[in-house]
Structure 1
Amino acid sequence: MSEPRIDHVEIEIDGARTRVAVDLEESPLGWLARRRGRDGRSFVSPVQLIAGERLRVDFTRAGMTPRLGADWEAVARGSRRGLVPGLNASEAMLAARQRLSRALEATGPEFSGLLLDVCCFLKGVEQIERERGWPARTAKVVLSLALDRLARHYGLGEVAQGPERTRGRAWRAGEATGDPSQ
């Protein structure tokens, strides 16, 4: 058995950026991201890989079982008076379920099942094609479309792009202080 190929991907969840470790040997998306087509481009772009892994992170967090025993995190943090703001396990699980639900709803019923199979249940494209009775190499094309829609939902793009023109803003010193004489 070969060594796992671990890569680090930076994702953003609810405004918080974090780096996650991804076993590219385990993930069908990682496998597709390393493979090149006839045109020399990978089958899965970096943005598509990030979107798929972000879906997988939420799926994993949403599937965590609730804590049945003592809350040992509170002991590790110290006293209850100095609680660090954040989510407990149940709240984090619920938030992940909501993010997962919104993402799958945004991709639509045409793509959500495929994304779950590939990104979350780690099924390969050949297995998907067999199970669904699709012609060979069809799953790669449909998966690419699904990942594009998922990336758009997450606000990810190959190029950062803003509005062509924004409204100018100017303040006078008197407006900031509330003094109408200035």
Structure 2
Amino acid sequence: MANHIEQIIEDMDGRPQAVLVHLGESPLAWLRARGHLSERHYAAGDMLRADWERAGLGARVTMRWDAAPREGGRRGPGERPDPTLAQMAARARFDGAIAAAGPGLADILWRVACAGEGVVAAEKALGWPSRAGKLVLTLALDRVAGWYRVP
């Protein structure tokens, strides 16, 4: 299993789950495994992707079947926060991180970290020359790492 790493992710209820991730599936993990990204840059990109997913910004293929809100909409002690509040907080973090990356850098950052495009495909889609994407992605990840306060 040299091409797999174990990661801890949160499920929809906030419980940690251990999953095996194939390095070829994540462009950021692929770059990190080959020494093109530092651990700091990888962590920042992974935090951005996690916020993007928590905010529900990805394309949906079915309708949501969540239960309707209860009357009053109030939580009792010990109940989980409303998922919409968690989504709004994740959206705010995502928007802040993208703003921190800045114009011109956010495009490739979103394509690689969130949409899962490879760097070469992102370069082509943006009309950039070969090998420009990795440099710009690294600059964007550095800014996002600062925004997320990744050491």
1:3 shift after superposition: 9.5
Residue type of the partner of 1:50? A
Q: 1:120-177 deviations in whole A, cap 9, x for unaligned?
A: 00000110121122221111111111111110111113xxxxxxxxxxxxxxxxxxxx
2:26 paired with 1:32: no
What secondary structure is seen at the aligned counterpart in 2 of 1:8?
Answer: strand
> Is the contact between residue 33 and residue 46 of structure 1 (CA under 8 Å) also seen in structure 2?
yes
- 2:67 pairs, out of 67, 70, 82, with 70
Report runs of 4+ in structure 1 exceeding 3 Å deviation. 18-22, 64-69, 80-83
- 2:122 pairs, out of 116, 123, 128, with 128
Q: 1:2-36 deviations in whole A, cap 9, x for unaligned?
A: 997233269xxxxxxx787572331100000011x
2:54 paired with 1:61: yes
Which of structures 1 and 2 has the larger relative contact order (alpha carbons within 8 angstroms, sep 6+)?
2
> Is the contact between residue 67 and residue 89 of structure 1 (CA under 8 Å) also seen in structure 2?
no
What secondary structure is seen at the aligned counterpart in 1 of 2:7?
Answer: strand
2:151 paired with 1:152: no
- 2:134 pairs, out of 132, 137, 140, with 140
What secondary structure is seen at the aligned counterpart in 2 of 1:109?
Answer: coil
**What are the ranges of 5 or more consecutive residues in structure 1 without an aligned counterpart?**
11-17, 36-41, 75-79, 158-182
Gap change, CA 1:83 and 1:3, over 3 Å in 2: farther
Aligned to 1:106: 100
Identity %: 38
Q: 1:39-67 deviations in whole A, cap 9, x for unaligned?
A: xxx10000100000000000001117896
Bigger CA radius of gyration: 1
Q: In structure 2, what is the Cα distance between the partners aligned to 1:149 and 1:55?
A: 12
Taking structure 1 as the reference length, the TM-score comes to 0.64
Gap change, CA 1:130 and 1:81, over 3 Å in 2: closer
Q: When the two structures are aligned, how many residues end up with a matched partner? A: 138
> Is the contact between residue 46 and residue 113 of structure 2 (CA under 8 Å) also seen in structure 1?
yes
